[in-house]
Each structure stands twice: as C-alpha cells, then as structure tokens.
Amino acid sequence: MRWCKFVRSIRQPKHRRGAIRPNGQGRGETRALPCPRLRPAYHWFAGLNRSWTLSDRLKMARGSPVAVFGGTGFLGHRIVRRLLERGNAVRVISRHPDRTGTMFRSDERHLETIRADIRVAESVASAIAGARAVVNAISHYSESRTDTFWRLHVECAGVLASSAQSRGVQQFVHISGIGATATSMSRYIRSRGEGELAVRKAFPGAVIIRPAVMFAPDDGFVSRIVTLLRRSPVFPMFGHGQTRVQPVHVEDVAEAVARILSTTDPPPTIECGGARVYTYEELLRSIAQTAGIKPALVPVPFPVWHTLARAAELLPNPPIARNQIELMHIDNVASLALPGLADFGIVPEPIESVVRSIMSAKR
C-alpha cells in the first residue's frame, strides 16, 4: 500500500509537486517529472516508456512469478525445479497442492503454491494475477464424460491463454505434442492440434512446445516396458514395430522450457526429440539389450490392440487406452524444419542411460 501511494505521489500535478513538463504534443497537458533515480520505476508502472524491450521488462519483473499449471505433474514439477534453480519465483498451480510437500523443499523461499482448477475461469484469473509468465503443462491421456480431450486441451487452454493475454502476462508457454494436428482422425491428436490454434488465437506471441514421447525412471513408458520384458519371455509389439519414435528425456524438455522463459525472442514452435530415432522394434531391442534380456518380439495387428484397449477402458485404471494405440499408428519424430533442443544448447539424454538406472534400482 505504501509503495502504491509513493508511485502515485511522483505523478502529482504542478500544484502538488512543482516541477512539470509538457507531454510533447503541445496541448498544454503536464506530467510530474520524477527524480532520475525514480524514473525506471515510474515508467514501469505508468507504462510511458514504450521503447522498452521484453528483455528490459523481464529484468524489472524478475521478482514476479512464473505460474505453472500442472506444476505437480510428470513434466510440470520438473519445470518448476528448473525455474527455481535459475532463481525464478515460481507459482505452482494445481488441484492437488498438497503434493508439493514431497516434490520441493519446504524452505524454498521462491515457491508459492495455489489450489486452482483450469476448468474454472475465475480460478484461472485469480491464479495468474501478477505473474510475468504462464506455463500450461496440463495433459490428459484418457477422458471421461466431463473431462473430455476437447474441454481440457482446447477450451481450457484457450481460456487460460486469453486470461493471460488480458492481464498483461509477458510470456506464455503451451505444452503440446509432436504430431498434433487439427485434422487428425484421432480425438486425442486432434484436440492437441485444436488446442494449439486456440492458444495462438488468444495469445499470438505464445510459444508452443511439442515434445516426443517422454521418458524418465519414474515414467509409465520405459519403466513399464522394462517390467514387462523382465516378466515375460514374449513381448507383443504394436503392429510390426515399424512406427518411428524419438523418445526424449523429460528433464531435457523441462530444461528447454526454463531456457525459453529466459529468452527474449524464442521461436513460436519448438519440437523436442531425443538422442536417436528408432523404429518401435529397434527401441524394444535396445531396451532389452541394455537390460540384459532376450525376449521374443511378437507382432500384434492394430485392430487387436484397439479391441483390447476398448475392453480395458471399462476398468477403473485401464493399463492401456485407445488414444495410446492411435499414437502408435503415426511416426513420433521431431521435424528438422523446426527448432529443437540443439537450438537451446541441450544435448539429449539417451534412453539407454535411464534403462541402466532402472535396472540398478531393481537389483
């Protein structure tokens, strides 16, 4: 409150301040002239210095938080950690803020946790108040009657971007996925593509990040493959295993987000692929070899997988979903025509290193 009164005081007219200057338009209007030391603060709050670059404003707003939606998720909590390591103030936005107690240090001074729901517009507006940047790291691989792919990936993403734009947020980063397109026959992939369009419309300067399938020791991808390979001498493949994939370590994607938020002019779209492109069969054989396993890989037609997934979705926690099968129909490889991890100086971590760490933990 005192700071607000102070800022108003340096803008008082002549009869209260004495020193005046014309506005340069010759219309007789006057403004108070603050002393030289106060001019940066004056221009920041009054918005008079239109020539300031984004870099200038980011330096001035270093104490303003970066709001991370989905900040307790698989990727989100790693983004939060990377931002904190760089000295950023971070606001974790989640429906489950109690989870932050096990994810971050309790004495972290630059961390703020807020309970909010991206599905409630008023909740979103309150959560991003005063933030200099917003990251949308919310993603769902299965849908319900109320939480459909369209609602979460398109409608809610658009509302969040629109709210950020209207409140003067300087940077907006939206996590999508490689292969996202609004013309896909898959509801999941199509919602990702439509979500990108909704974000771009609401916040034209948004940065879209499209990671390939992400892995980590605590994921549901590599760790599950290793577990299944160890349990059974026979492993079923999606089709003939010829779909191309380029798995990327989730930590590399989190680091890319942190570096983008410290960049004044990032590219509009970045695709994050891993160290190597595999066919699905090559990936399975590489994981098995690293784990010291020699499985028999058996091709299973996609129609069979879709039938199994449809039945599995009747369970409370289905082990596989139809949208996951749909993703295995198409190549998941970063485009060479778009910027990637290398453009931010990041060397991708190979998937074999994570397999070795998983195997060491299981011994």
Q: What is the pLDDT of residues 103-123, one digit of tens each?
A: 887 667 889 999 999 999 888
Nearest to 68 by CA among 310, 339, 283, 258: 258
Q: How many CB atoms are located within 10 Å of the residue 31 CB?
A: 19
**CATH superfamily, with its number, for domain 64-211:** NAD(P)-binding Rossmann-like Domain (3.40.50.720)
Residue 122 near residue 160, CB atoms below 8 Å: no
Q: How far apart are CA 87 and CA 345, in angstroms?
A: 20
Q: How far apart are CA 169 and CA 125, in angstroms?
A: 11
Looking at residue 325, the DSSP 8-state letter turns out to be: H
* Mean pLDDT (10-residue bins), the chain, 363 residues: 46 41 39 46 42 45 83 94 94 85 76 90 91 95 84 95 96 97 92 97 98 93 92 93 97 98 94 97 96 94 94 84 88 96 97 93 75
CB hemisphere CA count around 303 (13 angstroms): 0
Q: How far apart are CA 275 and CA 350, in angstroms?
A: 5
Q: How many CB atoms are located within 10 Å of the residue 91 CB?
A: 25
For the whole model, what pTM was predicted? 0.81
> Out of 3.30.70, 1.20.140, 3.90.25, 3.30.780, which CATH number does the structure's domain 212-248+276-338+348-363 have?
3.90.25
Query: In the chain, what are the domain boundaries?
Result: 64-211, 212-248+276-338+348-363
